[in-house]
């Protein structure tokens, strides 16, 4: 009798443990975010936690395409912040989203270097040997990498630069390549270098050379019923959060400027 009771209690405990793993606590969410948001979203999350003590927001950064794949394979994220709008829309189309994509910012591509004065440099100038190795994010799964390829092709230098290109897995790693000197120039997100402690110079890549980086977020199916996820999503659209994003060079959708 005691043995059967013990087995029943163990089985019941396993059920509760499984349920706790499947359903996140209301005061804890995990966010998947494009690497260009690393500094900006850290500040937004910190500001939210300051106003909501006890709330836990963990953020995992990476390339938007890789994060999409992880979510579709069951990774436990409540919100997906992408560096474009295409990947969140894919999540909707694949039945993995808990809402519709919400635009939150426009990102910008810049040419940045720690060792070369980039002011006044044109994209076509990168074909000159003096610019050395050039880092871009992988165009296959990183929106900033795709835009970098578009800009280099539009400037007529994509084919010429093939032997000198260094590919980062995401735009954060791409910026690290340029900041560490592993590449002399990086085509990176303005948001990652605008307030960087690593000194360097930059020149904007003309917006006419690449598709706008209209960035959107979407709640996942896991996050749709999570009160903290819903509230944090609303906070990202608030005036204080938008002011923090603007500090990192992001244009806001309502501004009408890319």
Pairing status of strand 102-107 against strand 213-219: antiparallel
Q: Same fold for the domain at 2-106+212-255 and the one at 108-209?
A: yes
Alpha-carbon distance of 150 to 156, in angstroms, equals 10
**In this predicted model, what pLDDT tens digit does every residue of 34-76 receive, in sequence order?**
999 999 999 999 999 999 999 999 999 999 999 999 999 999 9
Task: Find out whether 97 and 82 touch, Cβ atoms under 8 Å.
Answer: no
What SS3 state is found at 200?
A: coil
**In this predicted model, what pLDDT tens digit does every residue of 199-240 receive, in sequence order?**
999 999 999 999 999 999 999 999 999 999 999 999 999 999
In 125-196, alpha helices (H): 143-154, 171-180, 190-193
Query: Which has the closest alpha carbon to 134: 194, 172, 175?
Result: 175
CA 22 to chain centre: 25
Contacts 24+ apart (CB under 8 A), 252-258: 252/104, 252/105, 252/106, 253/103, 253/104, 253/105, 253/106, 253/214, 257/106, 258/106, 258/207, 258/212, 258/213, 258/214
pLDDT of 18 strictly over 50: no
Alpha-carbon distance of 61 to 142, in angstroms, equals 12
**In this predicted model, what pLDDT tens digit does every residue of 213-223 receive, in sequence order?**
999 999 999 99
What SS3 state is found at 26?
A: coil
Instruction: Return the domain boundaries, the chain.
Output: 2-106+212-255, 108-209
Q: What is the pLDDT of residue 65?
A: 98
pLDDT of 87 strictly over 70: yes
> Out of 3.75.10.10, 3.40.640.10, 3.40.190.10, 3.40.50.10190, which CATH number does the structure's domain 108-209 have?
3.40.190.10
Task: Find out whether 242 and 252 touch, Cβ atoms under 8 Å.
Answer: yes
* Burial class of residue 225, CB neighbours in 10 A (0-12, 13-18, 19+): middle
- Fold of the 2-106+212-255 domain: D-Maltodextrin-Binding Protein; domain 2 (3.40.190)
Of 8 and 164, more confident? 164
């Amino acid at each position: 009798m005691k043995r059967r009771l013990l087995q029943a209690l163990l089985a019941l405990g396993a059920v509760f443990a499984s349920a706790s793993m499947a359903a996140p606590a209301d005061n804890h969410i995990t966010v998947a975010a494009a690497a260009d948001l690393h500094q900006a979203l850290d500040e937004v999350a910190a500001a939210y936690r300051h106003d909501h003590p006890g709330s836990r927001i963990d953020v995992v950064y990476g390339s938007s395409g890789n994060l999409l794949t992880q979510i579709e394979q069951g990774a436990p994220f409540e919100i997906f912040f992408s560096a474009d709008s295409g990947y969140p829309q894919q999540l909707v189309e694949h039945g993995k989203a808990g809402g519709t994509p919400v635009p939150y910012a426009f990102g910008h591509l810049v040419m940045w270097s720690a060792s070369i004065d980039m002011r006044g440099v044109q994209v076509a100038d990168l074909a000159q040997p003096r610019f050395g190795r050039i880092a871009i994010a992988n165009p296959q799964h990183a929106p900033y990498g795709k835009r970098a390829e578009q800009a280099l092709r539009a400037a007529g230098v994509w084919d010429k630069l093939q032997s000198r290109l260094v590919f980062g897995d995401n735009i954060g790693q791409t910026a690290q390549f340029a900041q560490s000197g592993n590449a002399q120039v990086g085509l990176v997100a303005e948001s990652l270098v605008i307030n960087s402690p690593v000194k360097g110079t930059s020149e904007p890549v003309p917006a006419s050379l690449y598709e706008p980086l209209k960035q959107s977020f979407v709640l996942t199916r896991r996050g749709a019923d999570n009160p903290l996820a819903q509230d944090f999503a609303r906070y990202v659209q608030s005036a204080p959060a938008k002011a923090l994003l603007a500090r990192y060079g992001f244009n806001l959708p309502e501004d009408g400027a890319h």
